[in-house]
Structure 1
């Protein structure tokens, strides 16, 4: 399991390594463009109801993975996360889309 460590108080959210790798790619994609957005985390991450955090370059943010090996990214999943960040409800963790195999 990985961790999203957020804010000056270093609040930590536990998220599985595969998801955190995709979340990191999507968040960095937005921040590289100077775009701020909200990230809503559900009860499976917070341990209680929903929690929404503001993602901006001025707030400390770390992604920690327990796995040493890099994760092969599902490009569609990263794009889905970025697309969600561009909506009024902001980014939220969505299920990984199943990739169609080429014949």
Structure 2
């Protein structure tokens, strides 16, 4: 589990793969000067509930990953997370979409029947 530390005092744990996707979306939004809300569900050991922070270009953010391997980013997941970040609700963890299935092809009868 990695951590996102906001302003040196607020932290949230995320799986490294999700954290890498959140980092990418955050960087993209902040490069464009677009502040947004980031919301997560607090662990039961912290009392449960949820927390939100206002992410803005001057915020101090630390993305601390548990592992050293950089995960491959799923463009479909980035799109889903970006859509959430652009909504009034803000960025929150959404499930990773399944990879799209290749189109189903029907074998040509003339090539299969011999």
TM-score, shorter chain, exceeding 0.5? yes
The Cα offsets for residues 57-94 of structure 1, whole Å up to 9 and x where unpaired, read as 11101111111111000011111111111111111111
* 1:8-27 Cα deviation digits (max 9, x unpaired): x4322111111101110111
8 Å CA contact retained: 1:6, 1:62: yes
Q: Is the 8 A contact 1:14 1:45 kept in 2?
A: no
Unaligned runs of 5+ in 1: none
The answer to whether structure 1 residue 15 and structure 2 residue 20 are counterparts is no
Report 1:22-61 matches (<5 A).
22-44=21-43, 47=46, 48-61=48-61
Runs of 5+ consecutive residues of structure 2 not aligned to the other structure = 104-114
Q: Contact 2:12–2:42 at 8 Å: present in 1 too?
A: no
Aligned equivalents of 2:2 and 2:60: distance in 1? Answer: 17
TM-score by length of 2: 0.81
Q: Which residue of 2 aligns with 1:75?
A: 75
Higher RCO, 1 vs 2 (CA within 8 Å, ≥6 residues apart): 1
Matching residue of 1:64: 64
Alpha carbons 1:43, 1:50 under 8 Å: kept: yes
Partner of 2:63, secondary structure, is strand
Aligned to 2:5: 5
CA distance in 2, matches of 1:68, 1:18: 11
Matches of 1:69 and 1:12 in 2, distance apart?
A: 22
Q: Is the 8 A contact 2:36 2:55 kept in 1?
A: yes
